[in-house]
Chains A and B, each alone.
Chain A
């Protein structure tokens, strides 16, 4: 069985602050894939990143960075110098077991206040 926990339901930050969204996952498989998606107020789901279980290197893309730690089963997402356009619901997701079914977390709603 696979499970994704996003304990933070809602977070509010002031513009330009840094913010970290937590994601903890559970799987018994040694090969698995982790994802982050963004759902802005307009409603679409936008893919942000995919990582496999064999690559623990942190990744940075502009103001976005991801910290993957197998030891704690976490795949956290940090936004540096947040902007109002970052306001959205962010979903962490897990795929494991060689099957295409993806388990989504419950999402973290981020509000960036100007």
Chain B
């Protein structure tokens, strides 16, 4: 079975440009998570969707970040405009949520973003 798919795997862009990261969760999973990993801050949850609805976006750094999940098989994380401090590895994860059961999150391979 296919795992979580993320694209692109690597992205190099210049400050001020728009960046769009894409994620396809595991088929049948109903929860999707976007994380950011940096050396300084470790793994941070940015936003969490359940059944395509954003449940918790308290981790989104600022208005430059936005995320959408138009259907159960696709999500995007957009940064506009990008800044050098956004350089990080961005992970998407998915799980099959059964209320209150702390289901396992399965991670994609990540997108390594470098903003120059």
Contacts and interface: CB of A to CB of B under 8 A. Distances in A.
Interface string A81-100: 00000000001000110101
Contacts of B102: 32-33, 50, 52, 95-96, 100, 102
A91 B106 CA distance: 14
B95 interface: yes
Main secondary structure of the interface of A (DSSP, over half): strand
Interface in B21-46: 31, 33, 42-43, 45
Contacts of A35: 104
Nearest to A52: B102
A104 interface: yes
Contact of A45 (B45, B91, B97, B100): B91
Given A43-B109, A106-B42, A101 B104 contact: no
Contact of B100 (A43, A98, A101, A107): A98
Contacts of A96: 102
B42 A101 contact: no
B50 to A, nearest CB: 7
Given A100-B97, A104-B43, A43 B103 contact: no
Nearest to B58: A101
Interface in B63-116: 89, 91, 93, 95, 97, 99-110, 112
A55 interface: no
Nearest to B89: A43
Given A100-B95, A102-B45, A104-B42, A47 B50 contact: no
A24 B50 CA distance: 29
Contacts of B56: 101
A58 interface: no
Interface of B: 31, 33, 42-43, 45, 48, 50, 55-56, 89, 91, 93, 95, 97, 99-110, 112
Given A32-B102, A45-B110, A95-B102, 11 more contacts: A33-B101, A33-B102, A43-B109, A44-B107, A47-B104, A98-B99, A100-B48, A100-B103, A101-B48, A104-B43, A107-B42
